[in-house]
Structure 1
Amino acid sequence: MITLNDVHKKYSSTVAIGPVTLQIPTGGITALVGPNGAGKSTMLTMVGRLLGIDSGTIEVAGYDVATTNSKDLAKIVSILRQENHFVTRLTVRQLVGFGRYPHSKGRLTKDDEAIISRSIDFLDLGELEGRYLDELSGGQRQRAYVAMVLAQDTDTVLLDEPLNNLDMKHSVVMMSHLKRAAEELNRTIVIVLHDINFAGHYADYICAMKNGQVVEFGTPERIMNDEILTNVFETPISVIDGPKGPLAVYY
């Protein structure tokens, strides 16, 4: 479980996050949604301790994010940010191998290699593991980054807009892989999404944010309704019955 208790982060007199008090359940996918500037990515990076908080507490699996030793925290929670600056002349396997650093400190064991192979296979990258990153399509490269995070083998995985720059087909493929990771590998995945319909279809829980605060939290069945989404996104939205569940329609 991820627990945020009265968390604040202030950037200026007019820009701030919080107060945020929230419990994200263990297991499944929790999607963070909301308009630009709502605080989704900021909250995710605070949970992953890539950004400090001004007050309050954040715990992941009972560990205080602010005080837990970095090498121990890296075995509890992993995070993939939007901006990835790895050298392009790395192969897919070399990139995924970086996910084992908290465990191996660069000296890969047979167990590490097995986990790397498992992560590569899980993201259907077996035929590409010898390819360099600059030889991959955007969708393939994004899958390689996610495989690296899965190879870190943490129970909690934080992903900041992993669908960014992916077309519809590759977005569906990515979300399908993440759904499998949550179900088959028993991971707790927290993901920032811009498309509310991807959240409604794939997530187990939706956290809707606005103006630096959590305004709604619950199952897709609860969050996917006209009034809540219209309020969160500040534009008229109707939710209709789609062939595989509710769909939000903007007008």
Structure 2
Amino acid sequence: MSLGVLPWQDIAKAVGDPVATLAHAIPFIGIIAGPFAALLGATILLISANSGVMSASRLTFAMSQFNFISNWFNAVHPRYRTPYRTILVFSGIGILQLVLSFLTPNAMDTLGNMYAFGATTGYILVFIALIKLRFTDPYAPRPYKVPLNIKINYRGRMVEFPILGVIGTLGISTILFEVILTHAIGRIAGPAWIILCFLYYAYYRRSKGYPVFGNIPRDWEAQQIKVLEAAEEYDLLEEYKQALAERDRLEAKAHVN
């Protein structure tokens, strides 16, 4: 469709703002569509950056609560009630990435390399978590569930094995391999960041006497109930309690037999 608006040579020249250039070339409305596309892109970029800061800060805040990283991150601002330490730290890391990227010949290419590695790695972890939670937490309420699930017997209980989770893991793993193969900076900076974070994680867990590759015993069912109560998700809470009660009933019946 874009080639019907402009020749590919003109699009290739507009590497910094190809969408705005294409919009500007649309007959009759291009004079308005061009600036509007640029403004819309800037707005989306701002929203994405804000979402990135929010997700990174809340994720690390939760990790500190569960002893994956230092409790120093588990701090809420007395006035704004936000995890300000995690916001400051990861905003600082983002600024450092920008500074280092602009020291390279092509800053946007460098940032794209790192993003490609980080995004694909994140998607793989999501699919792995999907598969893992189906086995370790099968009773959690799931208002939405991905299709193509197979019911299997796992340690005496039925779990729904997600076929799409396996397909997604294999597919994104292939993309990650291609990213590592074709993105020079991504295959250096990405794994280096993961190794650095793992070394910090291992050091922190050992210093506190926690297992590096194991779990700290917790009452996850009570934690789940607490989360649902705090979120006022009473329908899901009732569904979860009924699922646990049914599980306990079946286990008691099995022990009697």
State whether TM-score is above 0.5.
no
Normalising to structure 2: TM-score of the pair?
0.24
The structure with the largest strand share of the pair is 1
Normalising to structure 1: TM-score of the pair?
0.24
Between structure 1 and structure 2, the one with the greater Rg is 2
Which fold has the larger relative contact order, with Cα–Cα distance below 8 Å and residues 6 or more apart in sequence?
1
The structure with the largest helix share of the pair is 2
